Amino acid sequence: MAHLSVRTQAMPDANPFASPVVFDFTADIDSGEQILAYAVAMSGFVLNYQTNSAWWAEDAGAVGVSLTPNLIGTVVAVGGNVMLTDYDGDSAIDPPDSDSGPGSVAQVSVLAVIGTPYTSAPVCATAFGLTSGQDSSVVPIGDNTTSLAFLSGFSVAASDGTGEIGGLTLASSVASPVGNQVTVNGSVGLTNFSTTGTVDVGLLSYGTNLVGFDVQTASVTWLVPEGQQGMTGMFFVDFTIPSGYSSVAQAALLLQDVSIVYDDTAEFQLIQVMQAGDLSINACTVSGSVVLNLFNPDLGAHHYICGDSSATLSVIAQFA
């Protein structure tokens, strides 16, 4: 029997690449136990241009988030990396400044399977670098398991040059098992724009031998977009606390699909899928809000996110 621990935090607001995000699971590990497996999750991101011109918004050249984990005993140390470039001296800002707005960061989560060493731990891993739209190699899973796929990162770039975009789509999925095997799939694209891309897809495949957690798809109530403030979605998830536990101790968002729709095909300053502050945990409930955003504030060229935008997300909770 193993148990699942969950942690989430945003990249430090200092550098867009090689930003250290450290998750210490020591308090969850009993004597004789260790981290048996781990997966990284991209629970959100903000990508904000810092430009070298008088304009706030620019074309898209390449956009991405990547998370590189290392296991150091009871710590999972993740390198948080984001990229935004138009190949013309404009790039992701971090740290933020008062003129250009928020820093470019990712909300990073780690799922850690903890237990005594044995060789048949539940699958908790990340399929890195999948070509957009293509299935992964087969992943062996256990008997009678449930599999959950989620986004762990992406890279998308113009097939040729740079250009204006109509939005961003991201998707992750896991196929129905064939025997004791599954494949995962991810896709990424910039709408109205020819791109190539890769997707990192996390996979948690679990049965009754993994305890201490639950995951539920969040029913999100999306509000009407408010210009540069973006489009807010609110969610409230009620967990059933299993016997032996008394409350939710930790929780994180897992993004499965994102569709950000622009009101035109245009340049942009900021693109975002990000939780607003920390999740609120109260005994058996987890609530919060997530903001989708895409805008161009330049004079005479105002463009904003459309209400057709949406995201599919799950809340994963660790019980105490």
Q: Measure the N-to-C terminal CA separation of the chain; round to a whole number of Å.
A: 16
Between CA 224 and CA 285 the distance in angstroms is 25
Q: What residue type is assigned to position 54 of the chain?
A: A
Q: What are the tokens at 287?
A: 């609530």
* Closest approach of another protein to the CB of residue 154, in Å: 9
Write the DSSP symbol of residue 182: E
- For 142, residues 6+ apart whose C-beta sits below 8 A from its C-beta are 120, 122, 123, 180, 205, 207, 209
Q: Residue from 66, 187, 309, 318 that binds another protein (CB under 8 A)? A: 66
Q: Which stretch binds another protein (CB under 8 A): 72-80, 245-253, 283-291, 303-311?
A: 72-80
**Which residues between 177 and 206 bind another protein (CB under 8 A)?**
184, 197-198, 200, 203
Sign of CA dihedral 174, 201, 4, 38: positive
Can residue 297 be called a binding residue for another protein (CB under 8 A)?
no
* Closest approach of another protein to the CB of residue 55, in Å: 13
Sheet of strand 184-190, all strands in order from the earlier edge strand to the far edge: 184-190, 165-174, 248-266, 310-319, 213-217
Can residue 55 be called a binding residue for another protein (CB under 8 A)?
no
Can residue 59 be called a binding residue for another protein (CB under 8 A)?
no
What number of CA atoms fall less than 13 Å from residue 248's CA on the CB side?
A: 23
Q: What residue type is assigned to position 137 of the chain?
A: S
Residue 14 DSSP SS3: coil
Q: Residue from 1, 30, 72, 320 that binds another protein (CB under 8 A)? A: 72
Q: Residue from 43, 85, 269, 309 that binds another protein (CB under 8 A)? A: 85
Residue 29 DSSP SS3: coil
Nearer to another protein, 36 or 313 (CB): 36
Can residue 77 be called a binding residue for another protein (CB under 8 A)?
yes
Residue with tokens 């109530």: 221
**Which residues between 248 and 267 bind another protein (CB under 8 A)?**
none
* Closest approach of another protein to the CB of residue 250, in Å: 20
- For 126, residues 6+ apart whose C-beta sits below 8 A from its C-beta are 39, 40, 67, 69, 152, 200, 201, 202, 203
Nearer to another protein, 48 or 309 (CB): 48
* Closest approach of another protein to the CB of residue 16, in Å: 7
* Closest approach of another protein to the CB of residue 80, in Å: 9
Q: Which stretch binds another protein (CB under 8 A): 150-158, 235-243, 258-266, 299-307?
A: 150-158
Rg over CA atoms, the chain: 19
Q: Which phi and psi angles does 136 have, rounded to 5°? A: -75, 170
* Closest approach of another protein to the CB of residue 48, in Å: 12
Can residue 61 be called a binding residue for another protein (CB under 8 A)?
yes
* Closest approach of another protein to the CB of residue 213, in Å: 18
Which residues lie near another protein (CB under 8 A)? 14-20, 22, 34-40, 50-52, 61-62, 64, 66-73, 75, 77-79, 81, 83, 85, 87-91, 93-94, 117-119, 121, 123-129, 136-140, 153, 155, 157-158, 184, 197-198, 200, 203
